[in-house]
Amino acid sequence: MIKPPEYIQTISPYQPGKPVEELERELGIKEAVKLASNENPLGPSPRAVEEIKRHLNGLNRYPDGGGYYLKEKLSARLGVGPDEIILGNGSNELLDIAVRTFMTRDDHAVMAWPSFVVYPLAIQSIGAEATRVSLIEGRHDLRGMADAIRENTKMIFVANPNNPTGTINRKDEFKELMDRVNDDLLVIVDEAYYEYVMDPEYPDTMGYFREGRNLLILRTFSKAYGLAGLRIGYGIGRAELLAEMNKIREPFNTNSLAQAAALAALDDDEHLRRSIEINNEGKMFLYREFGRLGLEYIPTEANFIFIPKLPVPAPELYDRLLKRGVIIRPMGQEAVRITIGLPEENRRLVEALEAELGKGA
Ligand SMILES: *Cc1c(COP(=O)(O)O)cnc(C)c1O
């Protein structure tokens, strides 16, 4: 039988969760609360849904492979040229394309750990090597990451905010990193939760881009815009870099409904505003309730909260909450990551936590 290369054989596959409908059936529960994947609990923008309906009868046609209208709109919004924007089947795909465009298996990448699981997957899929630099108090150790740069380092991944911890690195630290990298290296700044960030010290990565630095800024419609199921995200970078990435991109990588929905979602300021508002309110509610339950959490700049140390093993808490119809994400043995939901969902989470852990657990 044909075998893949050693570096593929040794990948531990991403474990997809079961569909919510299946969990509900197996556990005999109804209306499970899903707080496991950092999705927008408000749902998609109603304007996006309308726009999708309008495009359904055109599904016999291939999508616009150049994403003309969406790039035009983003370009006007962001004040960059359309050739400085690349669209992806989720920002996930853009990570993969960037790695395949700029790296060979003899190259090296630097990333923080724990961080987004897709980074090591992308690197391993081409057989290259990555150094994982441990977080310090839940945050990227950008100095340590700069220290990890080698002769053959081609890429640095910075998730800002970081997933799973929800923390950000601030302007001064980010500047220090940028001062230490030269231009034969690409810094990928993954800003999937950009819209949720409240900290005024959040780095202005667009400023570095305008200075002509080698930066790929990744953003997505999957989180605050509520379109995770459609798979669409975008990257901002120098036209010369994106032109190289476009050479290996699938010609029709973003589908027509996703493009139409993203265009409409960009015009729905009210939906975005409410999404952020609901997140901020939920955050304050959960901070208070976690405090009451004696659960230490890491303050978040995103739409999820990381609890680094639980009084019970994380997989066990996951199972127990699941039986109560609340789905969270265990992270290793000690920690969990919980997406901020709607007020009612947050209340159900707190009730379930209280029942399982008790007050002052
Ligand atoms: C959710 C998430 C993304 C978004 O991925 P899409 O492919 O755009 O859905 C990217 N990076 C991080 C760190 C995330 O948590």
**Domains in the chain and their CATH numbers?**
6-43+270-357 (3.90.1150.10), 46-267 (3.40.640.10)
Atom of ligand 1 nearest to the CA of 38: 1
CA 149 to centroid of ligand 1, rounded, Å: 25
Q: Ligand 1 pocket: which residues have CB below 6 Å?
A: 38, 90-92, 116, 159, 163, 190, 192, 220, 222-223, 228, 233
Residue 269 CB coordination number (10 Å): 10
Q: pLDDT tens digits, residue range 156-215?
A: 999 999 999 999 999 999 999 999 999 999 999 999 999 999 999 999 999 999 999 999
**Quick check: 285 pLDDT over 90?**
yes
The percent of residues above 90 in pLDDT, for the chain, comes to 94
Residues paired with residue 265 on neighbouring β-strands, in sequence order: none
Residue with tokens 């923390």: 167
Residue-level pLDDT at 360: 46
Output the pTM of the full model. 0.96
Q: Is the distance from CB of 42 to CB of 195 less than 8 angstroms? A: no
- Of all protein residues, whose CA lies closest to atom 12 belonging to ligand 1? 192
Residue-level pLDDT at 359: 52
Q: Is the distance from CB of 297 to CB of 284 less than 8 angstroms? A: no
Amino acid found at 357: L
Residue-level pLDDT at 307: 98
Residue 341 half-sphere exposure toward CB, CA atoms < 13 A: 19
CA 276 to centroid of ligand 1, rounded, Å: 17
DSSP 244-286: HHHHHS-TT-S-HHHHHHHHHHHH-HHHHHHHHHHHHHHHHHH
Query: Cis omega (within 30 of 0) on the bond before 120?
Result: no
Average pLDDT along the chain: 96
CA 347 to centroid of ligand 1, rounded, Å: 26
Q: 8: part of which helix (H) or strand (E)?
A: helix 6-9
Atom of ligand 1 nearest to the CA of 116: 13
Residues paired with residue 327 on neighbouring β-strands, in sequence order: 34
CA 192 to centroid of ligand 1, rounded, Å: 5
Name the pairing type of β-strands 129-134 and 215-220: unpaired
Q: 46: part of which helix (H) or strand (E)?
A: helix 46-55
Residue-level pLDDT at 123: 98
**Quick check: 361 pLDDT over 60?**
no
- Of all protein residues, whose CA lies closest to atom 15 belonging to ligand 1? 163
Q: Is the distance from CB of 228 to CB of 45 less than 8 angstroms? A: no
Atom of ligand 1 nearest to the CA of 222: 9
